[in-house]
Amino acid sequence: MEDAKSRLRRMLGEEGLTVLQDSCVIVFGVGGVGASCAEALVRGGVGRLAFVDGDVVQESNVNRQAIAFRSTVGRRKVDVMCAMARDIYPEVQVEGIDAFVLPENLEEVMRRLPQNSDYIVDAIDTLSAKVSLAAWAQETGVPIISSMGAANKVDPTKLRFVDLFKTDHCPLCRAMRKQARARGIRKLQVLYSCEEPIAVAHDEGSDARERTNLGTMSYIPPIMGQMVAGYVIQDLLKRGGVQLG
């Protein structure tokens, strides 16, 4: 009789399942990219996860976020993500840290997280926090994959895994490269879109700082999250000595 992991077992064998079951991944940001990534990591057999996000589900999230439903609007994102993970696999070990990551509180947040983590997923929006997280990963040697901007992009075939310093046509990447150089970051694997962003006008009467010129298609962030999860799972297996195919 098949169980919940039968299809995984056929692909990975017991050795691969054990490697993933024993792995710990921290997902920073469980929004459009991060929630889909976290869901795929859980379904993919990763046994220990921590989710970091200080936001609550908002109605504007419904078009793209795996945790956003009418029933979850107003709830803390990390609580919804943890509940979803346990509903998929009750045996999974998950914890949620209700915090916005900023350069000034990064060390404090890190002390609250599992100290033997195997991978970091950066799916947060704040530029300074992304750079600080990348610098921390470089200093500690923890593998990291960073998701770049999904806003104003429509073509999923333009998504690429590359080093940050080889990116183009991405405003977030351009800004991040500058700060990364200043922090001495030598390399950073990212998922980004090489598509030119579509021009979107600000809402009439809005302040430019409100970022009302940023729109998001329903499918781009989830596809990015699934791709990041696939990257992490394959790398964890490789590091664990498991060959696929």
pTM of the model: 0.94
Which H helix or E strand runs over 133? helix 127-140
The 3-state DSSP class for residue 58 equals coil
Going along the chain from its start, the domains and CATH numbers come out as 21-239 (3.40.50.720)
What are 120's strand-pairing partners?
26, 144
Distance CA 157, CA 220 (A): 10
Beta strand 144-147 pairing with 189-193: parallel
The tens place of each residue's pLDDT in the chain, 245 residues long, gives 799 999 999 999 999 999 999 999 999 999 999 999 999 999 999 999 999 999 999 999 999 999 999 999 999 999 999 999 999 999 999 999 999 999 999 999 999 999 899 999 999 999 999 999 999 999 999 999 999 988 899 999 999 999 999 999 898 999 999 999 999 999 999 999 999 988 887 776 666 555 667 889 999 999 999 999 999 999 999 999 998 87
pLDDT at residue 148, as a whole number: 96
Specify whether the CB–CB gap between 97 and 52 falls below 8 A: yes
Could you give the C-alpha distances from 41 to 37, 163, 164, in angstroms and in order? 6, 22, 23
pLDDT at residue 211, as a whole number: 64
From 37, 141, 17, 15, select the one nearest 81 (Cα to Cα): 37
As given in the structure block, the two tokens for residue 208 are 């430019």
Query: What is the biggest distance separating any 2 CA atoms in the chain, rounded to whole angstroms?
Result: 61
Specify whether the CB–CB gap between 85 and 58 falls below 8 A: no
Specify whether the CB–CB gap between 184 and 228 falls below 8 A: no
